[in-house]
Amino acid sequence: MQHTRPCAPSRPWPSYPVYFGVLFIINNAIGLITPLVGVVLNVVCGVSRVSMDDLIPRRLAVDDRAAGRASFADAVPRSRRRTCKMVRRLTLWKDPIMKRVMILNGPNLNMLGIREPHIYGTTTLDQVNAGCEEAAAKLGLKLAFHQSNHEGVLVDLIQSARQDADAIVINPAGLSFTSVSIMDAIKTFEGPVLEVHISNIHARDEYHRHSKISSVATGVICGLGPFGYIAALHAIANMN
């Protein structure tokens, strides 16, 4: 004789009116809270004589190719700054931070495209600059591009980067292998420093193989041609 299992009792139908009622209450609660936040902000601005426009920093042109945001201190009068800061904390406002990158190029790099194209290629320094500007705009970086044939000028630029830059990309060129002064200047910079070489210096002759700057650099990129500069910018954009 076969024994059959008793059928499990069917589950009761869910109470759809209850679900609808809960969603209705949540939806209306959100609709009621949102206008109240707006009213509070308007009351605070009215009492403190601060306009809503003061809470949004004005955009300032950095140069012909990029735009940056004015600092909160520049955008808001001193007398209204404290109230604006309070309101912006309530609204969880955060200013976007644009990283400042200084790119430094050493001696003879102004001759790129002419000097030993079988090693360095035919890309000129102006083309490298244009490519870096384009990449920086896409990555949200503010760029300063320099080249000098003089060691002291490069040392001065590195020292100025302590106030003017958050990161340095440097191709010291021939000074990579001789300059203790540049190495010491980089030691004073607290941000990341990426050393870039167009050619693979490790496959070069003995004079172009051992960089003193590598010992103080955060990272080294070599052998990628002019794209090494772009790779350095991508790395900096992803650093915390």
Catalytic pick among 118, 146, 150, 197: 197
Is the Cβ–Cβ distance between 199 and 120 less than 8 Å? yes
- The token duo for 176 is 């990579």
Catalytic pick among 120, 202, 208, 234: 120
> What is the per-residue DSSP string for the chain?
----PPPPPPPPPP-HHHHHHHHHHHHHHHHHHHHHHHHHHHHHHHHHT--GGGGSPPEEE-SSS-EEEPPHHHHS-GGGHHHHHHHHHHTT--PPPPEEEEEEE-TTGGGTTTS-HHHH-S--HHHHHHHHHHHHHHHTEEEEEEE-S-HHHHHHHHHHHHHH-SEEEEE-GGGGGT-HHHHHHHHT--S-EEEEESS-GGGS-GGGS--SGGGT-SEEEESSTTHHHHHHHHHHHT--
Nearest CA among 107, 168, 172 for reference residue 143: 168
Nearest 5°: phi and psi at 226? -60, -20
Q: Among this protein's residues, is 16 annotated catalytic? A: no
Residues annotated as catalytic (active site), given as ranges: 120, 197
